[in-house]
């Protein structure tokens, strides 16, 4: 089954002679995801949101300080707040019902991912530190992405793992490199 593709199915119980009647009502489901593929699909919306922010993409470190809010293409907001914190900085990124894409690029199919939560960074003067927070995902693949084991090196993710917890599955740790694809 292909990720992100809609499938229609029915269930039919068979006896030992492989005979059966009364199939279930038709249901709709989506191609299954591995934890790694979940992170890849999540990153499409998250990276789209981060690209809209202007302060975080400025050169130098003090130029990145301040606040800004951007809207999702479909709905919701992403808020950026970067401030000095002791001898370093604290960057809070907050998403509230943020959505940029429809399932199969068709609004009748619903929103692909709607993101709500925080992706935060604490860094020292050398731009090294850690991340924290988690983002709840609704839409085609409900679940959560955790940042509590991501390391910051040189101002960007540079080690550790993302915690991926799709609904009805257990959490798995996925390399930080997967989110940067």
Summarised one tens digit per residue, pLDDT across range 87-125 is: 889 999 999 999 999 988 889 888 989 999 999 999 998
For the chain, give the percent of residues with pLDDT over 70: 90
Give the model's pLDDT for residue 74. 97
How would residue 4 be classed by pLDDT, with cut points 50, 70 and 90? low
What are the φ and ψ backbone dihedral angles of 37, each rounded to 5 degrees?
-65, -35
pLDDT recorded at residue 30: 61
Strands (E), the chain: 6-9, 27-30, 66-71, 75-85, 88-99, 113-124, 129-132, 134-139, 143-153, 156-166, 172-175
Q: What is the model's pTM?
A: 0.83
The mean per-residue pLDDT over the stretch 123-131 comes to 91
Q: What is the pLDDT of residue 59?
A: 83
Average pLDDT rounded to a whole number, residues 36-56: 93
Please report, for residues 82, 87, 113, 142, the alpha-carbon distance to residue 126 in angstroms, rounded to integers and kept in the order given: 16, 10, 34, 36
How far is 99 from 95, CA to CA, in rounded Å? 9
* Percent over 90 (pLDDT), the chain: 56
């Amino acid at each position: 089954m292909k990720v992100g593709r809609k499938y229609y199915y029915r269930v039919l119980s068979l006896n030992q002679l492989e005979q059966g009647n009364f199939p279930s009502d038709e249901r709709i489901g989506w191609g299954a995801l591995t934890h790694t593929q979940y992170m890849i699909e999540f990153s499409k919306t998250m990276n789209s949101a981060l690209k809209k922010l202007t302060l975080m993409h400025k050169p130098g470190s003090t130029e990145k300080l301040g606040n800004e809010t951007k809207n999702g293409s479909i709905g919701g907001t992403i808020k950026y707040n970067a401030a000095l914190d002791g001898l370093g900085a604290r960057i809070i990124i907050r998403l509230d019902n943020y959505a940029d894409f429809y399932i199969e690029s068709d609004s009748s199919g619903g929103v692909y991912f709607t993101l709500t939560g925080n992706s935060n960074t604490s860094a020292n003067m050398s731009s090294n530190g850690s991340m924290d927070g988690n983002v709840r995902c609704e839409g085609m693949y409900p679940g959560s992405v955790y940042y509590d084991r991501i390391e910051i090196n040189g101002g960007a993710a540079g080690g550790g793992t993302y915690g991926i917890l799709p609904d009805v599955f257990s959490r798995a740790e996925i390399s930080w490199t997967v989110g940067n694809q």
